[in-house]
Structure 1
Amino acid sequence: MSHQVLVFYGSYRSDRQGVRLADYIVRSLREGGAEAELIDAREIGLPMLDRMYKEYPAGEAPAALETLAGKIRSADGFVFVTGEYNWGVQPGLKNLTDHFLEEWFWRPAAIASYSAGRAAGVRSAVAWHSILSEMGMVVISSALSVGSISKALDAEGRPVGEGGAALARAFPRFSADLAWWMEAARTQRRTTPPPY
């Protein structure tokens, strides 16, 4: 049985570069046999958080929230593709994740960061590690970090140059780590109810 993976991306900029990494990850996961779907915060267009999904009476949440809640609950794992804004996380992606809580529980998450410069978004990745852990996910130890994003991936999300070659070498371990934890969590959920 293949794994269902949601790949979250959160830039709202008009000239987005990180979507190249998100597209690469979705395509590569699919090539490896997973059912991967891109969840683009800008396309979903949730408002700034006022009320979490769980705070709506049953059946009264906006359609976009209801649909996404179902996808999150059905997924085996998640990949968060994040840029770095002023040493921090992207507000669009953070806003999307904050609309949910229990829906995330007991599944693994992976972090892939990027930037236009050499730092590759690693400060954002570090911040996301604690955020996702607090939200009930197990964050895998493997991570992807892509610097000079526009030189590492072309417009179609295909690796190019030295940066692209480094990404292609790193991805198999990243993917295998996530797959191992997804299978472990799936097996555990089948045999033992979560403690809360």
Structure 2
Amino acid sequence: MADRILVFYGSYRHDQQGIRLAEYCVRQLQGRGADAELIDAQAVNLPMLDRMYKEYPEGEAPAAMEALAGKIRKADAFVFVTGEYNWSVQPGLKNLTDHFLEEWFWRPAAIASYSAGRFGGVRSALAWRDILGEMGMVVVSSTIAVGPMKDTLDEDGEPVGDGGKALEQQFPRFADDLLWWTAAAKTQREKVKPPY
């Protein structure tokens, strides 16, 4: 059975650049046999966090939240594609993830970051490592950092220039790391029920 991997993306800007990286990750993971799906925070359009999914009585959560909770529970792993906003995380992606908690537990996550500058969003990626760990995920050590996007992926999401070459060289290790931990976590969950 193919690994079920959700690729989360969180920009609400009308001229999204990072969506190219999110779609690239989806295509590359699908090319490796994974059942990868893009979850775009803007498309899901959850409200600013007022009540977490678990705080709704059963069957009363908004439809979009209920649907996403089901997808998260069925996923084997996650990729978070995150831009860097003022040296930190994207509010749209953070808002989406904060609606859930137990749904994330005991699965691996990987981080692909981007920014308009040459650091490729690494400050955001560092912040996400702590956030995702606190939310019960195991964050793999391999990361991807892209910046600037126009020098890495064209409007069709195809690699260009030196940035594109670097991305193509980095992605196999990134995917191998995520898929190894995905297999390990699946195997362990099948053998032993998670402790909580």
How far residue 138 of structure 1 moved from its aligned partner, in angstroms, is 0.1
SS in 2 for 1:8: strand
SS in 1 for 2:23: helix
Matched residue pairs, number? 196
Q: Which runs of 5+ in 2 are unaligned?
A: none
User: How far apart, in 2, do the equivalents of 1:6 and 1:156 lie?
Assistant: 21
- Residues 1:87 and 2:87 are matched in the alignment: yes
By how many angstroms is 1:127 displaced?
Answer: 0.1
1:36 counterpart = 2:45: no
* SS of equivalent residue, structure 2 residue 112: strand
Please list, as runs of the form range in 1=range in 2, the aligned pairs for 1:10-89 lying within 5 A after superposition.
Answer: 10-89=10-89
The one-letter amino acid paired with 1:96 is: L
1:163, 1:102 → 2: CA distance?
37
Give the residue type in structure 2 aligned to 1:153.
L
**Alignment-derived partner of residue 176 in structure 1:** 176
Q: Which runs of 5+ in 1 are unaligned?
A: none
Query: SS in structure 2 opposite 1:194?
Result: coil
Quick check: 1:9–1:38 contact (8 Å CA) kept in 2? yes
Deviations 1:37-74 (A, max 9, x none): 00000001000000000000001100000000000000
User: Are residues 1:128 and 2:152 paired?
Assistant: no
Q: CA deviation at 1:34?
A: 0.3
Paired residue for 1:116?
116
Question: Deviating runs (4+, > 6 A) in structure 1?
Answer: none
User: CA–CA distance in 2 between the matches of 1:150 and 1:39?
Assistant: 22
Per the alignment, residue 155 of structure 2 pairs with: 155
TM-score when scaled to structure 2?
0.99
1:151 Cα deviation after fit: 1.6
SS in structure 2 at match of 1:106 = coil
3-state SS, counterpart of residue 88 of structure 1: coil
SS in 2 for 1:113: strand
What CA distance in whole angstroms lies between the structure 1 residues aligned with 2:174 and 2:27? 14
Deviation at 1:119, TM superposition (A): 1.0
- % identical aligned pairs: 71
The one-letter code of the counterpart of 1:75 is A
Partner amino acid, structure 2, of 1:34: A
Q: CA deviation at 1:116?
A: 1.0
